[in-house]
């Protein structure tokens, strides 16, 4: 990595864990069978898929039969929302979500709204937290589904999903949560959360891009999303992506066995980054909940700064994300920062800095120097 910028964008994507690469390698070479084939090569592939499904289930604390492999978090969200809405349309057409969801949820809600569903998009507080009371107040007799993310991808705020699920039970609404950012960083236990549907993305958890999973609680019926030969217990047609499914399974195994250690390391790196900036920059603010926040995520705003210009200036030293995009007509502040009412003098200067398992203290110190040299 010598000569390459310091990578602090782990919420965007993660590198493949070396163990994941090792687990996948045989499926790039001699283990090429179709899991639906009844001969040796097919059985070999089927057993690999089954093992991976069991590993995902162990991370989520569910049955392997409740895990559906998908192409990633976006497909999982699409399948969950469209599948549940269409399957339950005979009961109602009202869906509750929040104003800070990922586009893979908000765009789906827009698609459903164009087809007659009513969407209630709830506000958040200044920390980016959805209020349980607001969710409960939004319920109607025809509410069929609630979709609230487990942790926000921009500011890291962890939502009270378990409490939301408890109030949703009273009206009989299904509960979906997008756990793309939380899995592998904090416990993601579907039993403790009380959810019916949960989305997982491989490339946020040191597995390949292009693979994910959807937890579907036993007894929940979804309208089919992809029709075909009936793979994935008839829920998602298409020959399984064995190579990447194996990678996802291995990544989930690694995440489960090292969850506390990984979280502790990422938190210590994040906190060192925050402290380093605080000691050298007076006009800054931290976005997100001070406690209920992902251990690796730091959303920081610098008063009067332009985050895009900052990132361009230090691009050969640090790779990170901005919370606002500049264009000819002005500045587009992210929908999350707008929903949190981040002050106008701070919002354009927002960086999302996210640490990972490989992050080192030397990298943190280098990033602080690079940012402060610009400011």
Indicate whether 139 and 25 sit together in one domain: yes
In terms of DSSP bridges, do strands 212-216 and 197-201 run parallel, antiparallel, or are they unpaired? antiparallel
**Residue 366 domain-assigned?**
yes
pLDDT at 332: 86
The residue to which tokens 């991808």 are assigned: 153
Contact 218, 196 (CB under 8 A): no
Q: Which of 203, 234, 255 delimits the end of a domain?
A: 255
Indicate whether 235 and 135 sit together in one domain: yes
**Residue 235 domain-assigned?**
yes
The answer to whether 326 is a known catalytic residue is: yes
Going by the DSSP 8-state scheme, the letter that residue 214 receives in this structure is: E
Q: Any idea what the CATH number is for the domain that residue 278 is in?
A: 3.90.1150.10
Indicate whether 141 and 103 sit together in one domain: yes
Q: Identify which of 255, 210, 252, 234 has the alpha carbon closest to the alpha carbon of residue 65.
A: 234
Indicate whether 251 and 134 sit together in one domain: yes
pLDDT at 331: 61
**Residue 204 domain-assigned?**
yes
- The pTM is what? 0.96
Indicate whether 278 and 345 sit together in one domain: yes
pLDDT in tens, 265-290: 999 999 999 999 999 998 999 999 99
Q: Identify which of 6, 24, 60 has the alpha carbon closest to the alpha carbon of residue 208.
A: 24
Domain that holds residue 299: 6-14+259-374
Indicate whether 236 and 321 sit together in one domain: no
Contact 144, 359 (CB under 8 A): no
Q: How many domains does the structure of the chain reveal? A: 2
Indicate whether 333 and 227 sit together in one domain: no
**Residue 234 φ then ψ, to 5°:** 80, 5
CA geometry: angle at 181 spanning 93 and 65, to 5°? Answer: 65
Q: Any idea what the CATH number is for the domain that residue 88 is in?
A: 3.40.640.10
pLDDT at 328: 47
pLDDT in tens, 95-127: 999 999 999 999 999 999 999 999 999 999 999
How distant, in Å, are the alpha carbons of 134, 159, 203 from that of 7?
38, 27, 15
Which run of H or of E encompasses 330?
strand 330-333
How distant, in Å, are the alpha carbons of 161, 277, 328 from that of 201?
18, 31, 34
Indicate whether 246 and 287 sit together in one domain: no
Q: How far is the C-alpha of 146 from the C-alpha of 120, rounded, in Å?
A: 9
Q: Where are the alpha helices (DSSP H) in the chain?
A: 18-24, 40-60, 73-87, 103-113, 132-138, 161-171, 190-193, 242-278, 307-313, 335-339, 361-374
CA geometry: angle at 269 spanning 297 and 151, to 5°? Answer: 20
Indicate whether 325 and 189 sit together in one domain: no
pLDDT at 320: 97
Write the burial class of residue 298 (CB in 10 Å: 0-12 exposed, 13-18 middle, 19+ buried): buried
Indicate whether 97 and 128 sit together in one domain: yes
Q: Which of 220, 255, 290 delimits the end of a domain?
A: 255
Q: Which of 238, 255, 272 delimits the end of a domain?
A: 255
Q: What are the strands of the beta sheet with 297-302, ordered from one edge? A: 284-287, 297-302, 350-354, 321-322
Indicate whether 213 and 135 sit together in one domain: yes
HSE-CB at 106 with a 13 A cutoff on CA atoms is: 10
Residue in 109, 252, 326, 372 annotated catalytic: 326
Q: Identify which of 161, 167, 88 has the alpha carbon closest to the alpha carbon of residue 130.
A: 161
Indicate whether 124 and 191 sit together in one domain: yes
CA 310 to chain centre: 26
Taking 50 as the pLDDT cut, the residues of the chain under it are: 1, 327-328
Q: How far is the C-alpha of 90 from the C-alpha of 116, rounded, in Å?
A: 12
In terms of DSSP bridges, do strands 318-319 and 67-70 run parallel, antiparallel, or are they unpaired? unpaired
**Residue 1 domain-assigned?**
no
Contact 165, 187 (CB under 8 A): no
């Amino acid at each position: 990595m010598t000569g390459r910028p310091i990578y602090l964008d782990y919420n965007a994507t993660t590198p493949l864990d070396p163990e994941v690469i090792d687990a996948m390698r045989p499926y790039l070479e001699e283990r090429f069978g179709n899991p639906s084939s009844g001969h040796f090569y097919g059985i070999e592939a089927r057993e690999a898929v089954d093992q991976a499904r069991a590993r995902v289930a162990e991370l989520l604390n569910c049955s392997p039969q409740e895990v559906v492999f998908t192409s990633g978090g976006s497909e999982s969200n699409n399948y969950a929302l469209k599948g549940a809405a269409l399957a339950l349309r005979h009961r109602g057409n009202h869906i509750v979500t929040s104003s800070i969801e990922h586009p893979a949820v908000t765009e789906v809600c827009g698609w459903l709204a164009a087809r007659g569903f009513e969407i209630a998009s709830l506000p958040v507080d200044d920390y980016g937290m959805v209020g349980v009371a607001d969710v409960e107040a939004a319920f109607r007799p025809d509410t069929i589904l609630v979709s609230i993310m487990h942790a926000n991808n921009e500011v890291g705020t962890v939502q009270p999903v378990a409490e939301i699920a408890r109030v949703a039970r009273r009206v009989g609404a299904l509960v979906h949560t997008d756990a793309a950012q939380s899995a592998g960083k904090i416990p993601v236990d579907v039993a403790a959360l009380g959810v019916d549907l949960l989305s997982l993305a491989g490339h946020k958890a040191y597995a390949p891009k292009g693979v994910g999973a959807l937890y579907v609680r036993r007894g929940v019926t979804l309208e089919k999303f992809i029709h075909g030969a009936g793979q994935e217990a008839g829920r998602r047609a298409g020959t399984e992506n064995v190579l990447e499914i194996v990678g996802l399974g291995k990544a989930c195994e690694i995440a489960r066995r090292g969850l506390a250690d990984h979280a502790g390391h990422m938190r210590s790196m994040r906190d060192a980054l925050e402290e380093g900036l605080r000691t050298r920059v007076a006009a800054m603010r931290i976005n997100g909940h001070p406690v209920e926040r992902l251990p690796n995520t730091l959303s920081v705003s610098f008063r009067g700064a332009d985050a895009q210009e900052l990132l361009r200036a230090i691009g050969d030293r640090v790779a990170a994300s901005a919370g606002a995009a500049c264009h000819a007509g002005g500045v587009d502040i992210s929908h999350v920062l707008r929903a949190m009412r981040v002050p106008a003098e701070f919002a354009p200067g927002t960086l999302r800095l996210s640490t990972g398992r490989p992050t080192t203290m030397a990298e943190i110190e280098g990033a602080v120097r690079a940012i402060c040299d610009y400011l």
